[in-house]
Amino acid sequence: MSNTQEFKIGADLYSIPADRFYGRDNHMWASHDNITGNVTIGMDSLGLASLGDLAYVSLQPVGTKVTRGESLGTLEAAKMTGDLTSPISGEIVERNDLTVRNPALVNQETYTNGWLVVIKPSDWENESAQLVSVDELPAWVDSELTRYRQQGWID
């Protein structure tokens, strides 16, 4: 298994690293730190490709309790204005104000400096099992690419 799943949209090459988990529908990535137990959250490149450039990001404050599937912030992008939904439940223990000040960072450094929040999970063991993991990644990326193309969200 390669450590990155790559795909093309038009002439552009995108990647989805295999070292983390992904929300099946909301295209949020979740990277678990085995030492602290905390989980860093961001958006994946396929979700971003369908949204276009991010122009505005707001994030809930540190200390906020979030529930899986509910809002951890909001975004405004070329193709959507709406919620950033959390892939897991827990408490926000850190947020990336750099992305609030410069939302383009999420597009430009998606899997590194473009992270959004760090969550102290309340039920990682069970909730991570519902996320897309490394074994499922190729099939999930293929099916999502098909779905996005059928919807006309990407080329």
Partner 1 sequence: MTLPLNSEIIFHTPGFRGYKTDEHNNQTAVEEFVSVSVTGTTCALHCEHCDTKVLRGMTDLRRFDGSLYDVCESLAENGTRGVLISGGSDLQGRVPLLPHIADLKRVRRDLGLAVRVHVGLPDEETCAALGEIDLDGAMIDVIGHRDTIREVYHLAADPEDYEDALSWLEKYKVPMVPHIILGLHYGKMLGEDRALEMILRHPPKLLALVVLMSISKTAMANVTPPSLDEIGAFFQKARKGLPSTPVMLGCARPMGKMKVEIDRLAVDAGLNGIAFPANGIVEYARAAGLRPQFVNACCGVNW
Q: Which is nearer to partner 1, 93 or 154 (CB)?
A: 154
Taking CB under 8 A as the criterion, which residues in 77-96 touch partner 1?
77-83
* HSE (side-chain half, CA atoms, 13 Å) at 113: 10
Please give the distance of CA 140 from its chain centroid, rounded to a whole number. Answer: 14
Take residue 92 and report the two structure tokens written for it: 């926000």
Shortest spacing between CB 145 and partner 1, in angstroms: 14
Does residue number 114 form part of the binding site for partner 1 (CB under 8 A)?
A: no
Instruction: Out of 17, 23, 87, 103, name the contact with partner 1 by CB under 8 A.
Output: 103
Q: Which is nearer to partner 1, 34 or 150 (CB)?
A: 150
CA angle 52-143-153, nearest 5°? 25
Shortest spacing between CB 56 and partner 1, in angstroms: 5
The strand pair at 4-9 and 12-17 is best described as antiparallel
Taking CB under 8 A as the criterion, which residues in 134-153 touch partner 1?
149-150, 152-153
Among residues 96, 145, 101, the alpha carbon closest in space to that of 118 is found at: 96
The strand pair at 71-77 and 80-85 is best described as antiparallel
Does residue number 55 form part of the binding site for partner 1 (CB under 8 A)?
A: yes
Q: Which is nearer to partner 1, 31 or 102 (CB)?
A: 102
Q: Give the 3-state secondary structure of residue 125.
A: helix
Residues binding partner 1 (CB under 8 A): 52-53, 55-56, 74, 76-83, 103, 107, 149-150, 152-155
